[in-house]
Chains A and B, each alone.
Chain A
């Protein structure tokens, strides 16, 4: 998976609780991305980063925040989880903002 790890790989949480997902890369790539994947919708971009402390919103950013304090780590936080945020979350990295390489995913269930 191109030197990308995601943690946790599976999580079950209750509605209203905060959740943080971590993406870690060993490739020293500049760009990092968070996506969610749902049946019928494909991959949708939540937030992305083009450098340390440089982030921007994607298509479905409401209810999510991100932080990137180091090149290798990109954190996705659900401030107050809702059932609609039950999904599989993928992190991706890119050296130059074109080709993207994906991590193994995190399956999140909000009950």
Chain B
């Protein structure tokens, strides 16, 4: 079957570079956002989340920035490694207990 990564925007970086993946969300009332990583043939993996009362949240090698004015979310990965190669997508809460997912960006890391 087709890979989920086909037809997605692609970001290509060198190992050691910092990567920035962007996401525009649609609902100004959304108050919770998540970034997921999906490797080929696997289920999406939770990376980091942020609530709308925050502008920035840091994890291990990752930082999420939220700009509510322009409805924009970004994921920064420091010192990108080949193991970071995957599809990354954002999600926003679309109801009390449901999420709406973006289509994703493929990150390719060259050694």
| A residues at B contact (CB < 8 Å) | 1, 31, 33, 37, 39-45, 48, 50, 58, 86, 88, 90, 94, 97-105, 107, 109
Contacts and interface: CB of A to CB of B under 8 A. Distances in A.
Contacts of B34: 99-100
A100 B46 contact: yes
Given A40-B103, A42-B89, A107-B1, A90 B98 contact: no
20 contacts: A33-B98, A37-B4, A39-B4, A39-B7, A40-B7, A41-B103, A42-B103, A45-B98, A88-B1, A88-B4, A90-B44, A97-B97, A99-B46, A100-B34, A100-B46, A102-B36, A102-B43, A103-B43, A104-B43, A105-B43
B49 A98 contact: yes
B43 A1 contact: yes
B101 interface: yes
Contacts of B7: 39-40
User: Which interface class (under 10, 10 to 19, 20 to 34, 35 or more) fits B?
Assistant: 20 to 34
Contacts of A37: 4
Interface in B72-111: 89, 91, 93, 96-99, 101-104
Nearest to A43: B101
B102 A98 contact: no
Nearest to B51: A98
Nearest to B44: A102
Nearest to B99: A100
A37 B7 CA distance: 14
A53 to B, nearest CB: 16
A54 to B, nearest CB: 11
Contact of B46 (A31, A44, A101, A103): A101
Contacts of B98: 33, 45, 48, 58, 97
